[in-house]
Amino acid sequence: MSSSRFSTTDILRAIIEHEAGVSVKEVSLKRGISPRTFYRWQAKWGSEKSTEARSHAVLAEEIRQLKKLLAESMPSAAEMTRFSGRK
């Protein structure tokens, strides 16, 4: 399965933007998608039934981003031994 060009967070932000009153055409142009793609996203993620799934997806994306930031800020084992002077 190919990876999506848009993350779940991007998709949910587009739907929330539309729910806030922005037209489908404007959301589609801003995101670089067709209105048909937007309506597919809305059918999958926009229903009241998927509210829990939406919040889970947003949290999962935030956790992924935080883990990435933590990994980037933590020094590697090689750097730790170099700075400590041990071999």
Note the pLDDT tens digit of each residue in 35-49. Answer: 999 999 998 887 655
Residue type, 87: K
CA–CA separation, 31 and 18 (whole Å): 12
Could you tell me which of 8, 2, 5, 1 has the C-alpha nearest to residue 41? 8
Residues 6+ apart with CB under 8 A from 33: 6, 14
Domain locations along the chain: 8-84
Q: Is the pTM of this model over 0.85?
A: no
| 57 and 9 Cβ atoms separated by less than 8 Å | yes
Q: Which CATH class is domain 8-84?
A: mainly alpha
The CA distance from 76 to 70, in Å, is 12
pLDDT digits (tens, 9 = 90+) for 6-44: 887 788 889 888 988 999 999 999 999 999 999 999 988
